Structure 1
Amino acid sequence: MKIKFQPKRVHKYCILFMTITLLLQNGKQTVEMNRLFGRGKAKEPPPSLTHAIQNVDARAEHIDTKISRLDQELNKYREQMNRMRDGPAKTALKQKALKVLRQKRLYENQRDNLTQQSFNMEQSNFAIQSLKDTQATVQAMKSGLKDMKRQQKNLRIDSIEDLQDELADMVENSNEIQEALGQTYGMPEIDDDELEAELEALKDEIVLDRDSTYIDDALRAPVVPIKEPGSETATTSSTSQVPVDEFGLPKLPAT
């Protein structure tokens, strides 16, 4: 089998090999240069608005400290002036107090300016953060919408209805199986007329059980015999003409 020589392909491979060689050489040179002279300083990120607010607030607090120190000095001068009489010494002390008061006013103006700057930056930072939150909310809503669409593609109302029908059929079949398993075997048939007659008989027995008149009649009869048992077959009470037997019970009339 003869191999056909292709100059164009060989030329491409040569160019690729030379490019890789140059890149490797440049990489080695870069490593050596970094080793000799060190790497350049990385670019610092631009200051954030939050960092700027913190710096301004720190400057304002530092100025507040200076104002407090000037207030203490003014109070000291005021007390000294109250104890001094009018004269050159009091006038000189007054000039010092005015100088301190002038410095205090300058510091107060600087503090107010810094406070306003901090407030403006906080408002801007709040607006930026609100926009970021809104953007994140919109992105989350878009992502949620995509997920809902993707999930709904897998759900069809026809398949859900078929599933409900199959479940209903399964429940019906299960009930039929339970009924079939609950059937009794070899039970004799019972006549409804016989059951009704037995029920009526039970009602009569309940009525007789509730009727206690025969007990009251027996209690009204004398229970103490006049003579000893066995002396006579039949006697009568001294207080009643009802015949009793040897046990003192009312004797039933002969039929």
Structure 2
Amino acid sequence: MYEGQRDILSNQTYNLDQLAFASDRIKDAQHTMTAMKAANKELKGMMKTVRIEDIDSMQDEMMDLMDVSNEIQETLGRSYNVPDDIDEEELMGELDALEADMDFESNSVPSYLQPDKETDLDSELNLPAAPSGHAAVLANRQQEDELGLPTVPHASIRT
């Protein structure tokens, strides 16, 4: 008997919960419809101020401005000394020849640094030979102490 009453009360509670849930869904639908109506009204008001023709004309104007900007950039980037009829194959041939010349010269002294046999400037000017690196190293070693620090001149030592 208690179990039967408990089942009846459980079913009644379930039915009331279902009705409350359905009522809440309808209220939510009403709020949604009210919000949609307000948004629709506001969108219609905004659409009256925005015309597709204005948007198209603004887009066209922006495209024209971009074209002018690109033309300005091309004009500013123009090179003055490069002719229009450059043969790229000829340029590539010259580049290859220069690279081959550089490879050949890398094994020896470049031609522009080799002394000219007719005018040897060192013999004409009677210049002394350049000091070798070995003498400079010895001079530096004499000025360093056993820790590799520069030595203090004897004249500056106080007693």
After TM superposition, the score normalised by the length of structure 2 is: 0.49
- The higher-RCO structure (CA 8 Å, 6+ apart) is 1
**Structure whose CA Rg is larger:** 1
After TM superposition, the score normalised by the length of structure 1 is: 0.33
